[in-house]
Structure 1
Amino acid sequence: MDKASLINRYAKTPEQRVMFAHILDLALRSENRNTVESGNFLPESDADTVSDMLRSAEIHNYILFGGCDGAERKCPVFLPDYLTEDDITDSPTLAGIAFATAEVNRFDLDRADFTHRDCLGALMGLGIERETVGDIVCSGGKAVIVLKTGVAELVKNELDSIGRFRVTVSVGDTAVMERHDDSVELSDTVASMRLDAVCASVFRLSRGAAAEAVGRGLVAVNGSEASKPDAQVTEGDKISLRGKGRAVIGKTAGTSKKGRIRFEYKKYR
């Protein structure tokens, strides 16, 4: 299948058309030059689609790599014949990945408590494109940020505060990503376990706004873009809404006197 046909088959938005065309160009360049070629970080919802597209194109010399174990945002990395996946894992810089560590001063350690949203907002305030930022792991007054090497120095030199706290930033080739559970356990009632109803509850939207978000491709379930507002949500499903966060659906716990379904969920900060 040629490039245009692949893009027409798999891309659903203008942004995806540009992204997928670039990824296919990287694959071709890697094959022709026998070099490492790495794309930007993919949203979790696009990673499966990219894998399907590359499989259809019979392109197999690549990995999806996010710089650390358990990464949610990953880059497509196309490998020359002299490198293996282990080489990339051992030396993330080969994939164009660096790590920035932002820390508050010692006087604020007891007060600072960064969230993912705080850190991402500070980075976007520098004018950095979202696709150049991978996973962000926060713990108290410290944040470890996975970045493309092209923006690492900018972050090091320009990121001086997160939220209301001043920070010092260092950049390195590796970092210890100590993941902490930053979720809160919540519950609510809904008329049904339809995706639009659950999204409206979890992300505090109107039912209509939630259905519109699904229609615009902003909602992902278990890493794949959702397209049907009436899809049923079940225990264990991971739901994310672009710009609003993510949640994991827990068990249902009966119905209220008005017949609404009680359900539990974990929402991540």
Structure 2
Amino acid sequence: MAKGIYGHFHPDEHAFVDRAQEWIENASHHKVKRTDFLDPRQSFIVSTLINRNPDVQIRMDGGFPDAERRRAIIGPDYLDMTSEDMGLRVLSVESGDSKFQTLTHGDYMGAILALGMKRDKVGDIHVSPEGCHFVVAEEAADYLHLHLSQVHRVHVATEILPIDKLIASPVRLEEMTLSVASLRLDGVVSDVFRLSRAKVLVPIGAGKCKVNWKPEENPSVPLKEGDVVSLQGFGRFRVLEVEGTTKKGRMRIKIGKYA
């Protein structure tokens, strides 16, 4: 592919851009590709590249309308995409242990990764007091059903369900209001995660911080309402609102930390 397209993407994304371009080239030659789960940034990249090719189309689905992580089917423009199987299943997780209700999204994700399962095979995770529903790739469902027996020292039982049985849970955000000198990435990240500015500069410079799922190595980049920021090992948050300026010239912002 033309190397000039790389200028639109972060260097860490170039390998994925190459893969996506290969899928698109194959689709233009009548081959259908069903991807693993894509995060919003990857979905954007694939859609952007497909818009450059009128002979190819895409369908994306993550099991429910507001899904963050979605699988894609990429095929020639004449294909009836509605008849294509997206390969989505639900892994239902339950337990009779009272500690089960305290398990978090991170606990479930950690249990999955500890089994050697790739993150790409798992979609959104829906945690509720009654249990947890994972959206998973059908090719990974049996393995997870057989091997997922414990989550953070809590014994669990699993069941594979069709995707129409998914019980989606609303996104839970822990809201907090901050007074910051500016909307610089490093300043906001340090306040949200209660780290010194020096301690956040290192992971940002190492590409371990993402803004809207894109690696961001510039600590001075300004954030805006709606931005989703993640710091590897600490979690992620959304900038909910820029409320205004205080009498001392500082900015009041409302943050939502993902539970």
TM-score (norm 1): 0.80
Percent identity, aligned pairs only, is: 26
- Of the structure 1 ranges 178-187 and 217-226, higher mean CA displacement relative to structure 2 is found in 217-226
1:92-135 deviation line (CA, Å, top 9, x unaligned): xx123222111112x53x85233211111010000111121111
Off by >6 Å, runs of 4+ in structure 1? none
- Equivalent in the alignment of 1:176: 166
Matched, 1:122 2:111: yes
Alpha-carbon shift at residue 247 of structure 1 (Å): 1.5
Matched, 1:197 2:187: yes
Matched, 1:43 2:19: no
* 1:1-269 alignment, distance < 5 Å: 3=1, 5=3, 8-10=6-8, 12-13=10-11, 16-35=13-32, 37-58=33-54, 60-79=56-75, 81-84=78-81, 86-88=82-84, 94-105=85-96, 108=98, 112-174=101-163, 175-249=165-239, 250-252=241-243, 254-255=245-246, 260-269=250-259
1:4-57 deviation line (CA, Å, top 9, x unaligned): 53774455345x34333333333333443444x211222223322232233235
Conserved? CA contact 1:23–1:76, under 8 Å: no
SS at structure 1 position matched to 2:144? helix
SS at structure 2 position matched to 1:239? strand
Alpha-carbon shift at residue 199 of structure 1 (Å): 1.4
SS at structure 2 position matched to 1:118? helix
**Relative to 1, partners in 2 of residues 1:228 and 1:193: Cα closer, same or farther, differing over 3 Å?**
same
Tell me how many residue pairs correspond in the alignment: 256
Give unpaired runs (5+ residues) of structure 2: none
- Equivalent in the alignment of 1:91: none
Give unpaired runs (5+ residues) of structure 1: 89-93
Provide the rounded CA distance (Å) in 1 between the counterparts of 2:70 and 2:112: 18
Alpha-carbon shift at residue 243 of structure 1 (Å): 4.3
Provide the rounded CA distance (Å) in 1 between the counterparts of 2:233 and 2:41: 14
- Structure number with the higher strand fraction is 2
Provide the rounded CA distance (Å) in 2 between the counterparts of 1:222 and 1:212: 19
Alpha-carbon shift at residue 187 of structure 1 (Å): 2.6
**Aligned CA-pair RMSD:** 2.8
Provide the rounded CA distance (Å) in 2 between the counterparts of 1:23 and 1:55: 12
Provide the rounded CA distance (Å) in 2 between the counterparts of 1:254 and 1:25: 48
SS at structure 2 position matched to 1:112? helix
